[in-house]
Structure 1
Amino acid sequence: MQNYIRKRAVKIAYHILQTSNTVRQTAEVFGISKSTVHKDVSERLPRINRDLAEQVRCILDKNKAERHIRGGEATRQKYACM
């Protein structure tokens, strides 16, 4: 694995820990695709730093569990404006 990929994976992990952002929000901040963010935190990060990867996984699991609530809220606001 190249050094810049390692650095990016660690930077993404610390960003997610500080902000609790979703994969989509993190991808937008870093200007990369959601697939790259997901691959960095799920495949590459455990090889670099297992403890950090587990902390990030907890946040991403929480975000995944709450996504149906965020989607419903977005729909409610959309129709409230009409």
Structure 2
Amino acid sequence: MKGNIEERACRLALYIIENKATVRAAAQRFGISKSTVHKDLQDRLSVFNRPLYLQVKAVLDENKAQRHIRGGIATRRKYKGG
């Protein structure tokens, strides 16, 4: 998904907002690295589309607050086999 960086950043933001997706899920969906997702959303989107940036930031902050819970669930699944 190379090309217009602003368009990519907007599409990433909309995907994350609509699906309440994580950065990792968005990166996998768009075939780019997590670093690129962060760079597009934090640095680029905040400059040219501030309202969309604020919406996606709210979702990312919520995901960040819940990541320790997701990690615990993943570990439990890993060791219980389910």
2:61 partner letter: D
Superposition TM-score, scaled by structure 2 size:
0.93
Instruction: Provide the aligned length of Structure 1 versus Structure 2.
Output: 80
Root mean square deviation of aligned Cα:
1.3
Partners of 2:48 and 2:18 lie apart in 1 by 19
Partners of 2:32 and 2:81 lie apart in 1 by 32
Superposition TM-score, scaled by structure 1 size:
0.93
Partners of 2:81 and 2:50 lie apart in 1 by 45
Q: Deviations over 1:58-78 (max 9, x none)?
A: 000000010000000011111
**What is residue 35 of structure 1 aligned with on the other side?**
35
1:68 and 2:35 equivalent? no
Partners of 1:14 and 1:48 lie apart in 2 by 15
In the TM superposition, 1:1-82 aligns within 5 A as: 4-81=4-81
2:22 partner letter: T
Runs of 4+ in 1 over 6 A off after TM superposition: none
- How far is 1:81 from its partner? 1.6
Identity among equivalent positions (%) equals: 54
1:67 partner letter: R
SS in 2 for 1:12: helix
SS in 1 for 2:4: helix
Partners of 1:34 and 1:64 lie apart in 2 by 14
Alignment gaps of 5+ in structure 1: none
